[in-house]
Structure 1
Amino acid sequence: MHDQGLLIIILLLATGVILVGVLRFLQLPAVFAYLLTGVILGPHALAVVPDLASTRQLAAFGVVFLMFSIGLEFSLSQFMSMRRLIFGMGAAQVLLTSVIFVGIALIIPLSWKTGVILGGILAMSSTAMVIRALAEKMEMQSRHGRIAVSVLLFQDLAVVPLLILIPALAGSAKELPHDLAMAGLKAVVVLLVLLVIGRPIMRPWFQLIANRKSTELFMLNVLLVTLALAWITEQAGLSLALGAFVAGMLISETAYRYQVEADIAPFRDILLGLFFVTIGMLVDLPAWWANIAWVLIVLLLIVFLKGFLVWGLSRLFGYEPGVALRSAIVLAQAGEFGFVLLALANQYQLLPAHVLQPVLGGMLLSMILAPILVERNGWIARKLVGSYRNHRDQQLTEIRAADLKAHVVLCGYGRVGQSVGRVLEEEAIPFIALDLDPVRVRQAQSAGESIFYGDASRRDVLQAAGIFSARAVVITYANVASSQRVLSIIKELRPELPVVVRAHDDSQLEKLEAAGADEVVPEVNEGALMLASQTLLLIGFPISTVLRRVRRFRQERYQFFRGAFWGGSEPGEDQASARLASIPLGETAFGLRLSLRELNLTSFGVSVVAVRRHGIRGRDPAPDTVLKSGDVLVLFGSPAALTKAELYVLEGNTAQETAVSA
């Protein structure tokens, strides 16, 4: 029996690893892999994994840690700033969905209890999938993104009362009001006791544990707090997940929330994966096929009915049709918490088998369609709503109104972008900043700064920002994929334009340079450099030595820190010191069709730092690189050596001999 149990675990892990790898390659969420694992190995297919109560109990802890993570994200300030959308549109969406499905259930006919449960299950959308997709598309702070996030936040909160409601519905109809009242009263009392007692205790307790400076002790403490509060709420007749949610809320107010979130993630992801495996085990493919019409009906209800509700509410809250449609498309799918509620309803036998399978099938199909719909939401909106294009054109007109020349385009105006903007402003260099946070844009515009609401990954937005007359572009995004999208458009529109890109560390260097970045500035490297320089100063090194060390580091790390491009004079510098020079090669240049090895520029005492071709700079070019018309050679050396090398490259041996004899 022991060997059989180990074999089952190995099969689960092997199937999960293969399917997760395949689906991640196809850019589909890992949740599908877990569901497919359950389908394949479950009792309705290969029957390798038995549907044991112990397995379901272990999988339930995945939901516990998921609710704990949601509690960690519970920010009162965030809720207050978005309260109109969260408690207005979010509440209306969940309530209206429930009411409509109660009506549908009564028409079919099913019991009103089944309708309430189905309404709660199908009102949920996929928080994990939508948030990730919006973040990758840089649409989190767009108007449809804020609507989606607000509705998702309320849906996550609505899970808590639904976790109380479903067990109460399992009782008799006569006792239902009493059961609901008692469940609500116990929930209020337990929550108040935990919050009143827990809030003043949690911070000093975590401080005491953290002072021991033991990673194992800290992790054990997180598990203790989470599971203890979950046990308390379960003993009160409520759910484990509710106690975990409260634990997350309490810890979110301490200074340790981010460390806790990082520590708990492995437990949450593995156990949540197991939970979805158990959901997949419920799938009965023959039953799906026998009820394929109902599966498709449920799918259409999820996508179109929920989408229509979100669209109507968005219009009611004053948003134009295009934004309303994008919000509807983004939220038109089932969600992880829907499966949580479905599993709970199945546990209490509140859903008949002929209802469970079509609902499960429709939910899964909607989540398979979701990545495609979310990715293409803007394209669909522009095709279906003509006025949406007009609204975007109005935004582009506002950007064009700046009408700057020889300026810098800042993509992103967060803390990093604003710091760059301050430097440019002090040097009297005009700039245009593009950002997708409407609050930030409004505040910065009111302060008189040149910032506009716009998505820099859109070709028309960059054109409106004057990309063809700009001197340079600075991309300040922390997300590499977003920076790559912007780079691809810039290199398509104007390949010779210099682009500087922010990165977290050197691991992102090759990706960004391959996408066309002229310089990549890793924050980790610069932070380490500043820490080292300050340390040297504090232990007594002279400032001249520190500055020399800093310069040497940057010369080694950044190719274009090998000296500098000088103007007519550089105060405070040795006029004979090495510097950079760029040499454009015209159609009559002597060096055309010659390789760098054949030119042998090192004989002049200069080194070739880069060759810029079609707007893309190749650092440390190979000796076999053959020069072509339109190339730009970037050389490093003393002024005298650079002069000789330039004459030779442009005019040949005669010029070299003339320069040498002179």
Structure 2
Amino acid sequence: MPHESQSLLQAVVVFLLAAVLMVPLAKKLQLGAVLGYLLAGVLIGPSVLGLIRQPESVSHISELGVVLLLFIIGLELSPRRLWVMRRSVFGAGLAQVLLCGVAIGSVAWLGFAQAPAAALVLGLGLALSSTAFGLQLLAERKELQRPHGRLAFAILLFQDIAAIPLIALVPLLSGAGDVPADHGWMPLLRVVGSIGLVVIGGRYLLRPVFRIVVKTGLQEVSTATALLVVIGTAWLMELAGISMALGGFLAGLLLADSEYRHELEAQIEPFKGLLLGLFFISVGMTAQIGLLWSAPLVVLGLTLLLILLKLPLIFGVGRLAGGLSADSALKLGVVLATGGEFAFVVFQMARDQGLIGVAEHSYLVLVITLSMVVTPLIVLGLSALPRGKAVPVARAVPEEYKAMDHDTPRVLIAGMGRMGQMVARLLHAQRVPFVALDTSVETIELTRSFGHMPIFYGDPLRPEILRAAQAPGVDCFVVATNDAQNNRRIVERLRQLYPGIKVIARARDRSDARFLRSLGAVPVREAFFSSLEMGRETLLTLGFESAQVDVRVQRFRQHDEDLLDAQYEVRGDEAAIMQTAREARTELETLFESDRFEDTKTADRS
């Protein structure tokens, strides 16, 4: 086997082995997958084990992970939604880059005696945060759709856009400013032309191409086309001097309203995860860990300085420009306080152009990498901090919602969610007096807006609220809140206070139903009857006779309720419950088989 093939295979095995070992370990320690990839890169890189001696050889491939990430983000947006986000993108995003750039640049110029041009590049380069890192961290913690997650995305999007002029600015600041003036327009014309070509091609060419490809019915061709669109757009943007990541985002944005959006996302997702992991591994490999031993105070001090400069400024942007709460603004600041992947590109160009020295470049790469390593630890530390009792942020409760002026009820309903509202409407139609309790002002307000409904604000776990609702005189309690654990607690309280009154309680599943039944309540599984109706409609669609379907559904319902009774008798013994379920399944098959035999005999007689 040729030496090159052996080297390639060895590199692939090393990458995969490092990821397989380090990422699950990091996840188990609740550090997140991103930190696992970074540590894997540090481990196999030239600074530690030296298993991969040329990290630059994979950097171009690994950057495709960021490209694919931004392509999928673009798919989830649309030009209309982007326009709606314009204030966050160009307001908060611009404020963050300018404030952080000025602060860091000033420190570099005045505190570290850097030349003004170098200080400008350092300030703006370190003002950028890691799009891949930030979004992956937010996605892992399921915070992308929270207020700070949405604002983080908007700021990161502006940073990706801002990276374009910054990359173009580096050669001009390096002293190559004696280029002819007319030549200075060429990069701008290339940028405008490339974006125009992508926009026109995306609007008039991509959809017909996808239509033809989908008609072939070949999955691999569809996957290849999706990759061609993303990588081809990124390549075109790179030729024009624009970041490949922004090209990927632009391609996704153009296809956001396409009927093939979900298909494209499904095709790209596996490649995105793998290449994004490779990107973080390559970042870890470039870190010169030796500097930590030779100059630990300098490296750690610079990392801390970067975070301490950016975090309060981003916190302020989140509070003032984003309207976030203090807690959300702090989370935003922590996620965006890192350095970014575009800083690697900017600082490498600045080193090649002589704006910064080789030693300074090595420190910068390590500081950016360490900031990425430290951030998940800070996030984990913040989430582990003991918090005081949260101050309620719900709306004030109007007094009329508390004053229970009503007729003597026969039914008391706890919880006016979907199921509680259906019960209330049925009782209202039959003119049965009832009282409903809920702890959501919005729910009470909405329910009362449909007409005079005796719904009041109150926690059914409090005995004084129950007495005010005349609970001792009702015939029946209906417990129907959206929280299964809360339903259990309410039933337990009702059983303590009013053991003789019938309780009908909403159950989430079979185990919930068994527990509620053990308290003496009648459990009603929230999805059981709707599932029966769905099964009934399915059988009718398949051509079964209506009378046959009704018999089958009724038999199934009775059989399932009998099974619940049997499982209740052996509750607490999981093995016995499973055995009961297996026996019941066999019995049901036998019953349906006899039904089919009877149907056949009836058909033969007719």
| TM norm. shorter chain > 0.5 | yes
Q: Retained in 1: the 8 A contact 2:129–2:159?
A: no
- 1:191 match: 195
Match of 1:324 among 321, 326, 330: 326
For 1:96, the equivalent position in structure 2 comes to 99
Shift of 1:541: 2.7
Over aligned residue pairs, what C-alpha RMSD do you find?
A: 4.4
Matches within 5 A, 1:292-371: 292-317=296-321, 319=323, 323-334=325-336, 338-350=339-351, 352-371=360-379
In the alignment, does 2:443 pair up with 1:423?
no
Offset at 1:156? 2.5
CA deviations 1:94-140 (Å, max 9, x no partner) are 322222212122122332243234333348671221244244xxxx6
The question of whether the paired residues in 2 share the 8 Å contact of 1:330 and 1:373 is answered with: no
Query: Which of structures 1 and 2 has the larger relative contact order (alpha carbons within 8 angstroms, sep 6+)?
Result: 2
Distance 1:239-1:32 versus aligned 2 partners, 3 A rule? same
Render the CA deviation track for 1:547-596: whole Å, top value 9, x for unaligned. 3333444556xx5x459xxxxxxxxxxxxxxxx9xxxxxxxxxxxxxxxx
How far has the Cα of 1:75 moved from its partner? Answer: 2.9
Q: Provide closer, same or farther for how the CA distance between residues 421 and 91 of structure 1 changes in structure 2, counting only shifts above 3 A.
A: farther
**What amino acid is the match of 2:328?**
R
Change (3 A) 1:103 1:252: same
Taking only the aligned residue pairs, the percentage that are identical comes to: 24
- Amino acid corresponding to residue 128 of structure 1 in structure 2: Q
Contact 2:234 2:244 in 1 (8 A): yes
Q: Which residue of 1 aligns with 2:540?
A: 537
CA distance in 1, matches of 2:512, 2:6: 46
TM-score, length basis structure 1: 0.66
Tell me, yes or no, if the aligned pair for 1:89 and 1:313 is still in contact at 8 Å: yes
Structure 2 residue aligned with 1:229: 233
Q: Distance in 1 between the 2:149 and 2:54 partners?
A: 36
Checking the alignment, whether the CA contact within 8 Å between 1:66 and 1:268 is kept in structure 2 is yes
Tell me what 2:22 maps to.
19
Task: Give the letter aligned to residue 546 of structure 1.
Answer: V
Partner of 1:165: 166
Q: Which amino acid aligns with 1:26?
A: L
SS of alignment partner, residue 375 of structure 1: helix
SS of structure 1 residue aligned to 2:392? helix
> Which residue in the other structure is 1:208 paired with?
212
Residue 49 of structure 1 aligns to a residue whose secondary structure is coil
Distance 1:496 1:256, change over 3 A: farther
Residue 271 (structure 1) aligned to one of 270, 275, 289: 275
Distance 2:57 2:41 in 1: 16
Q: Which of residues 175, 178, 183 in structure 1 aligns to 2:177?
A: 175
CA contact (8 A) 1:397 1:464 kept: no
How far does residue 40 in structure 1 lie from its aligned partner after superposition? Answer: 0.8
State the partner residue of 2:407.
none
Instruction: Write out per-residue CA displacement over residues 140-172 of structure 1, whole angstroms, 9 at most, x where no aligned residue.
Output: 66xxx3144123223134213304522541453
Contact 1:44/1:283 (<8 A) preserved? yes
CA contact (8 A) 2:414 2:438 kept: yes
Mapped to 2, the partners of 1:170 and 1:112 lie a distance apart of 14
Gaps of 5+ in 2: 405-410, 428-433, 452-456, 467-476, 495-504, 578-606
| 2:154 alignment partner in structure 1 | 153
Q: Distance in 2 between matches of 1:493 and 1:59?
A: 54
Partner of 2:217, secondary structure, is: coil
Change (3 A) 1:448 1:327: farther
Say yes or no: does 1:282 pair with 2:286: yes
Which residue does the alignment assign to 2:392? 393
Deviation at 1:47, TM superposition (A): 0.7
Evaluate the alpha carbon distance shift between residue 327 and residue 427 of structure 1 in structure 2; reply closer, same or farther with a 3 A threshold: farther
Output the CA distance in 2 between the equivalents of 1:365 and 1:252.
33
Report 1:127-142 matches (<5 A).
Answer: 127-135=135-143
**Matching residue within 8, 13, 26 for 1:10:** 13
- Match for residue 53 of structure 2 among 45, 50, 54: 50
Report the counterpart of residue 610 of structure 1 in structure 2. Answer: 568
**CA separation of 1:608 and 1:88: change in aligned 2, threshold 3 A:** same
- Partner residue in 2 for 1:386: none
Give CA deviations for 1:586-620 in whole Å, capped at 9, x if unaligned.
xxxxxxxxxxxxxxxxxxxxx544169xxxx7598
Partner of 1:238: helix, strand, or coil? coil
Offset at residue 241 of structure 1 (A): 2.4
Give the whole-Å Cα distance in 2 for the aligned partners of 1:25 and 1:399. 47
Q: 1:249 aligns with which of 246, 253, 258?
A: 253
Q: TM-score, normalised by structure 2?
A: 0.71
| Higher share of residues assigned helix | 2
Go from structure 1 to structure 2 and tell me whether the alpha carbon gap of 1:424 and 1:488 turns closer, same or farther (over 3 Å shift). closer
Higher mean C-alpha deviation, range 209-218 or range 531-540? 531-540
Secondary structure in 2 matching 1:126: helix
How many Å separate the matches in 2 of 1:444 and 1:175? 66
Q: CA deviation at 1:276?
A: 1.0
Q: What residue is the counterpart of 2:380 in the other structure?
A: 372
Checking the alignment, whether the CA contact within 8 Å between 2:438 and 2:458 is kept in structure 1 is no
Specify the SS of the correspondent of 2:539: helix
Q: CA deviation at 1:76?
A: 3.7
The 10-residue stretch of structure 1 (399-408 or 51-60) with the greater mean CA deviation from structure 2: 399-408
> Does the 8 Å contact 1:90/1:152 carry over to 2?
no
Aligned to 1:601: none
What CA distance in whole angstroms lies between the structure 2 residues aligned with 1:64 and 1:273? 13
Does residue 472 of structure 1 match 2:472? no
Counterparts of 2:450 and 2:394 in 1: how far apart (Å)?
A: 17
Aligned AA for 2:119?
W
The one-letter amino acid paired with 1:96 is L
The residue number in structure 1 matching 2:119 is 112
Note the alpha carbon deviations across 1:230-267, whole angstroms, 9 max, x for none.
22222323333232222111221112222211221111
1:105–1:112 CA contact under 8 A, matched in 2: yes
Once the 2 structures are TM-superposed, how far is the Cα of residue 50 of structure 1 from its aligned partner?
1.9
The aligned counterpart of 2:502 is none
For residues 33-74 of structure 1, give each alpha carbon's deviation from its aligned partner in whole angstroms, at most 9, with x where no partner exists: 211111111011111112154322221222221221222122
The CA distance in 2 between the partners of 1:548 and 1:402, in whole Å, is 47
For residue 224 of structure 1, report the CA deviation from its aligned partner. Answer: 1.6
Distance in 2 separating the partners of 1:277 and 1:16: 8
Letter in 1 for 2:76: E
Q: Which amino acid aligns with 1:98?
A: G
- Residue 200 of structure 1 deviates from its aligned partner by 3.0
Distance 1:185 1:90, change over 3 A: same
Change (3 A) 1:448 1:270: same
Of 386, 409, 412, the residue aligned with 2:415 is 409
Q: Is the 8 A contact 2:101 2:125 kept in 1?
A: yes
Structure 1 393/21 Cα, relative in aligned 2: closer, same or farther at 3 Å? Answer: closer
